Amino acid sequence: MADRVLRGSRLGAVSYETDRNHDLAPRQMITYRCSNGEEFVVPFSHDAEIPQTWICKNG
């Protein structure tokens, strides 16, 4: 019977909570620069340890 109840629902894939009245976790945006001069921004949690370097994967 439990198989019938769960059939068709995407377990873990969909949140049934509303996005209203929720504060996002505090974040900080860190900018990195590749050796070719390209800059990109990576969001980190406010209390995360920020890596000094970031490996570019754009060649």
| 25 within 8 A of 39, measured Cβ to Cβ | no
The 10 Å Cβ neighbour count of residue 44 is 13
pLDDT 10s digits, 4-56: 555 666 666 777 677 677 777 899 999 999 888 899 999 999 999 999 998 88
Report the pLDDT value the prediction gives residue 58, as an integer from 0 to 100: 73
Report the pLDDT value the prediction gives residue 28, as an integer from 0 to 100: 95
* Domain 23-59 fold: Rubrerythrin, domain 2 (2.20.28)
- The Cα–Cα gap between 49 and 31 comes to 14
pLDDT over threshold 60, residue 1: no
The encoded tokens of residue 26 equal 């505090």
The model's pTM is 0.57
**Integer CA distances (angstroms), 17 to 21, 22, 57, in order:** 11, 10, 35
User: Where does the pLDDT of residue 59 fall: very low under 50, low under 70, confident under 90, or very high at 90 and above?
Assistant: low
